[in-house]
Structure 1
Amino acid sequence: MGESGTGNFRCIGETQTSPVSSQSRSGNIPKISIIPLVFLIFYEVSGGPFGIEDSVKAAGPLLALIGFLVFPLIWSIPEALITAEMGTMFPENGGYVVWVASALGPYWGFQQGWMKWLSGVIDNALYPVMLLDYLVPAVPALAGGFPRVLSVLVLTFCLTYMNYRGMTIVGSVAVLLGTLSIVPFIIMGFVSIPKISPSRWFVSDLHNVNWNLYLNTLFWNLNYWDSISTLAGEVDNPRKTLPKALFFAVILVVLGYFFPLLIGTGAVPLNRNDWTDGYFSEIAKMIGGAWLMWWIQGAAALSNMGMFVAEMSSDSFQLLGMAERGMLPEFFGKRSRYGTPLVGILFSASGVVLLSWLSFQEIIAAENFLYCFGMILEFIAFIKLRIQKPTVSRPYKIPVGTFGSILMLIPPTLLILVVMSLATLKIMGISFIAMILGLMLQPCLMYVKKHHWLRFAVNPDLPPDPVSSETSADNETLIIPP
């Protein structure tokens, strides 16, 4: 079925297929410009400091502050650079699925899509949970029982509808929510100045560190830079816009974590057990009073809304991109009248509802484990394309050479192995079952395709695979910043 070669993934079993609708490239649907794209990346990765509290609980202020300065150098920047290079090399929906399929063949491309989609859906199940956790101090009834279940369902429906209405709305919402989420922490910083004691920043106890919680919290809060690649087909001039947006988003994310962490650890007496999901609202109350607490709680709600819509956009467009490449049945490529992937949105929303019963820490650990496997495939695909196809057009190219790129990936690869080794047996078991399902699902889909039980199609308007065409035109290196 053409699975053994590299770069032939567009032709897997293409007999008796028909084109997927090319509505996405008709020019009638507005594209995402750079400012909304920056905030979409911000929400794919971060959304603000909500959720970083457990780093202080796990390791104390000093290691938490060091972690959010050092971890971006080890993980975030390499992942963002790879996303910039590969995303401009393959500027279409599907993102990392297309990268891996081009380098390693369609079977592993499908496995990449399965693990990353499942990881994204698990991640998205967290945001309604976090939103409600921040509202519990004001509305105790949301702590559990029927009110909480109903709230999760209502939130999921409302935020899913935003995704259905179109990417321009999602982008505009991301800009608005991002601004409203950042402003209260700037205000809190000014209010906290008289109360800050720098000595609190240096408190540490290396004999009392929960390394599993610490590393999982850092990893979860600083990954998913590659998720924006699944929306590349919806971006205005992605070959130039994507690297610039990633550069500005890295700065925004790092500052959005480090500044509030400085305030929170420096302005209030330390009680590590208090540092858990939702604690920033309590810090705001101690620093500025009830008005600031309410503002932070509102910002948390808005932030979680933004993270939900950004993640769902990435997950649903990934499924659409896989359908356009013939990896999934044609109905996954169906678009609504707003240009959004209707079936992909419904599948992603269903997964969120089914997984929302997991605890905060279980959700983070499960998604991190699956995400690590996907990143290993991305690293392999990136290096293989660098070595075997050095002349293929790369509108943005990491300016350190192939050997330098390999060296750059050693620290994040070691980090992946550490994060995976710290997972509990329960999380390992769930993750391995999920991966085994993916290994079996792809041959089953190909069997269905071979017998024409479902229609599989390839979009004729997709850009040609640059690896197959061996084009090297316009092979110039852009250096960010612009």
Structure 2
Amino acid sequence: MVKKITLFQLIALSIAFYGSIRNIPTVASVGWAGIFYMVCAAIFFAIPISLVAAELATGWPQEGGPQVWVKAALGPKWAFVTSWLLWVQMFFGMVMVSTAFAAMIPYIINRPDLANNNTFIVITVIITYWIITLLNFKAHFGKLISTWGAVIGIYIPAILLIVLGLWYSFKIGNVNLGPLNMDTLIPNLNSLDKFSFFAGICFIFAGLEIASVHANDIDNPKRNYPIAVFVTIFLMVIFNLIAALTEANAIPADKINLAVIIQPFQIYFNALGIPWMTNILALMIAFGVFAQLNAWVLGPSKAMIKVAEEGLLPPIFQKRNKDNIPVTFVIIQATVITLVTLLYVVVPEINTGFIMILMLTTILYCVVYVLILLAEIILKYKMPEVHRSTPVPGGKIGMWITVILAFIGVITTIIVSIIPNSDIPEDLHTASILIQVLGTIILVILPLIIFKYKKPTWKKGDVLNEQQ
């Protein structure tokens, strides 16, 4: 008999999966308004999508997650679009993570000025990602660093960020945050450029539907899974807010570098009289980010090669090496990531390029969430007989309330992602809008075109028969 996961274990597992300090500067950059954004992100994004994903995952537990749910509700065409978008959004997500890695190197070598040097960042990102790609052609490589990377580069820095942030804030008092009142807590909704930070904060919770795969493995899932969702998201909101508000107090808002996680640590360690610790922690964080990047290289590609073998992509996409690595997908990833990274060459500020990439990634993920929410509605009525061990609480009325909340959050996130925020110079507003709109349209239409013109001979079995 397989031992069930306890409620505490599921909460710990979820926090370990989502816990990251990579997005803290984004929350810090809006000061007290971060409270408003985080609460809205939880109510209109994280909680409802988690509950919907749990119901779908326990009703359709087959490997594949979102694409399986969408296929059951909307058919293979939109399942392919879902798989495709989950793959291509990783290109932009990995550029962001690679940028965070590249921004650590200057602090390791005592050259913090290089963290804002576009050329240095571009070269470092491209070299790093190609090294990780080549190393992953040997399947065993990833297992060697993932666990230690998480402990050394994510958990220890996260605890230090909160402890040191609180200590520094008590030491210096309220310097940069200013007073907490309705004007500082609630952003000016007439100024949509500020409200666009909501999209970046929602991105903290992107991917949370993956935790739903554990819903069937928990004791009393109908009761315990919703509790785990609420507790996990509550703890994540508290952690992010403490870390972000203490950083916002330590650094003026216009000086916060969204891609440089180490920035507040430098201030804290200097205040403690141990500036050399900045170098050590930068090395630790760089190792953690490297491990995270390494874990992401193969995941999306392994999912996509299964799609290719079903006959939805030409045979060249089905190529594997002797270690069973999906060669074509991995090479395409590295190539596209290289091209996307070159955006930093034409955009003068690292913050500006980082935000543009973040917004496009968020929009693509939100399109997937729209498909997941539609799948929830359709399957609730189309296949009511399918047992869901973790249904959305409240029956069909509860489902509609949950889905409407999620739709409000997802659609709002898409809209505000398109609007250039205050960190993007006016002369780049048009370029930013074009990147978001055209990028989304092209990347959604492309899989629809591929699906329309797919050939029966693309299916793996048919390819092998032809070769024989």
Alignment TM-score, normalising by the size of structure 2: 0.74
The residue type paired with residue 216 of structure 1 is: A
Question: Does residue 181 in structure 1 map to residue 154 in structure 2?
Answer: no
Task: Please identify, of 79-88 and 358-367, the stretch whose mean Cα deviation from structure 2 is larger.
Answer: 79-88
Query: How many angstroms apart in 2 are the aligned matches of 1:383 and 1:277?
Result: 37
Once the two structures are superposed, residues 320-366 of structure 1 have per-residue CA deviations (whole angstroms, 9 ceiling, x without a partner) of: 44246554457756666666655544443333223222321111111
Report if the CA contact (8 A) 1:90-1:98 is conserved.
yes
Instruction: Determine the structure 1 residue equivalent to 2:435.
Output: 426
Report if the CA contact (8 A) 2:311-2:458 is conserved.
no
Question: Does residue 286 in structure 1 map to residue 267 in structure 2?
Answer: yes
Instruction: Determine the structure 2 residue equivalent to 1:51.
Output: 23
Question: Does residue 240 in structure 1 map to residue 210 in structure 2?
Answer: no
1:446-461 residue pairs with structure 2 within 5 A? 446=455, 449=458, 454=463
The residue type paired with residue 156 of structure 2 is: L
Once the two structures are superposed, residues 48-95 of structure 1 have per-residue CA deviations (whole angstroms, 9 ceiling, x without a partner) of: 2x23323443xx322112322331222112222223232333334322
Question: Does residue 356 in structure 1 map to residue 341 in structure 2?
Answer: yes
The residue type paired with residue 128 of structure 2 is: L
Unaligned runs of 5+ in 2: 344-352, 419-432
Report if the CA contact (8 A) 1:189-1:260 is conserved.
yes
Query: How many angstroms apart in 2 are the aligned matches of 1:166 and 1:34?
Result: 32
Query: How many angstroms apart in 2 are the aligned matches of 1:35 and 1:336?
Result: 41
The residue type paired with residue 165 of structure 1 is: H
1:4-403 residue pairs with structure 2 within 5 A? 45=18, 47-48=20-21, 50-57=22-29, 60-136=30-106, 138-139=110-111, 140-141=113-114, 143-144=116-117, 147-160=120-133, 161=135, 164-165=139-140, 168-169=143-144, 172-173=147-148, 175-176=150-151, 177-189=153-165, 191-192=167-168, 193-197=170-174, 200=178, 202=180, 204=184, 206=188, 210-227=193-210, 239-240=216-217, 247=229, 250=233, 253-266=236-249, 268=250, 271-278=252-259, 281-289=262-270, 290-294=275-279, 296-323=281-308, 325-328=310-313, 341=326, 343-358=328-343, 359-403=353-397
Query: How many angstroms apart in 2 are the aligned matches of 1:196 and 1:122?
Result: 38
Task: Please identify, of 376-385 and 343-352, the stretch whose mean Cα deviation from structure 2 is larger.
Answer: 343-352
Question: Does residue 439 in structure 1 map to residue 448 in structure 2?
Answer: yes
Secondary structure at 1:277 match in 2: coil
Task: Please identify, of 285-294 and 238-247, the stretch whose mean Cα deviation from structure 2 is larger.
Answer: 238-247
Report if the CA contact (8 A) 1:94-1:317 is conserved.
no
Report if the CA contact (8 A) 1:88-1:238 is conserved.
yes
Task: Please identify, of 136-145 and 100-109, the stretch whose mean Cα deviation from structure 2 is larger.
Answer: 136-145
The residue type paired with residue 430 of structure 1 is: G
Once the two structures are superposed, residues 415-443 of structure 1 have per-residue CA deviations (whole angstroms, 9 ceiling, x without a partner) of: 22223223123310121122221210112
Query: How many angstroms apart in 2 are the aligned matches of 1:65 and 1:335?
Result: 47
Instruction: Determine the structure 1 residue equivalent to 2:401.
Output: 407
Q: CA 1:432/1:190 → structure 2, altered by over 3 Å: closer, same or farther?
A: closer
Report if the CA contact (8 A) 1:184-1:292 is conserved.
no
Once the two structures are superposed, residues 286-320 of structure 1 have per-residue CA deviations (whole angstroms, 9 ceiling, x without a partner) of: 33312454355345424433442344344123214
Report if the CA contact (8 A) 1:264-1:283 is conserved.
yes
Shift of 1:134: 4.0
Report if the CA contact (8 A) 2:73-2:379 is conserved.
yes
Q: CA 1:80/1:284 → structure 2, altered by over 3 Å: closer, same or farther?
A: same
Q: CA 1:420/1:278 → structure 2, altered by over 3 Å: closer, same or farther?
A: closer
The residue type paired with residue 381 of structure 2 is: I
Secondary structure at 2:393 match in 1: coil
The residue type paired with residue 78 of structure 1 is: P
The residue type paired with residue 240 of structure 2 is: Y
Shift of 1:46: 5.3
Shift of 1:382: 1.4
Structure with greater helix share of residues: 2
Instruction: Determine the structure 2 residue equivalent to 1:468.
Output: none
The residue type paired with residue 261 of structure 1 is: A
Give percent identity, aligned residues only: 17
Secondary structure at 1:202 match in 2: coil
The residue type paired with residue 447 of structure 2 is: G
Once the two structures are superposed, residues 376-431 of structure 1 have per-residue CA deviations (whole angstroms, 9 ceiling, x without a partner) of: 11100112112221221323333332221121121221222223223123310121
Report if the CA contact (8 A) 1:134-1:278 is conserved.
no
Report if the CA contact (8 A) 1:162-1:169 is conserved.
no
Shift of 1:40: 8.4
Secondary structure at 2:32 match in 1: helix
Shift of 1:129: 1.3
Secondary structure at 2:453 match in 1: helix
Q: CA 1:178/1:285 → structure 2, altered by over 3 Å: closer, same or farther?
A: closer
Query: How many angstroms apart in 2 are the aligned matches of 1:449 and 1:196?
Result: 65
Q: CA 1:74/1:45 → structure 2, altered by over 3 Å: closer, same or farther?
A: same
- Please give the root-mean-square deviation of Cα atoms over the aligned residues, in Å: 3.9
The residue type paired with residue 246 of structure 2 is: I
Q: CA 1:319/1:328 → structure 2, altered by over 3 Å: closer, same or farther?
A: same
Q: CA 1:249/1:331 → structure 2, altered by over 3 Å: closer, same or farther?
A: farther
Query: How many angstroms apart in 2 are the aligned matches of 1:183 and 1:294?
Result: 17
Secondary structure at 1:391 match in 2: coil
Task: Please identify, of 272-281 and 323-332, the stretch whose mean Cα deviation from structure 2 is larger.
Answer: 323-332
Report if the CA contact (8 A) 1:36-1:175 is conserved.
no
Secondary structure at 1:210 match in 2: helix
Shift of 1:249: 5.5
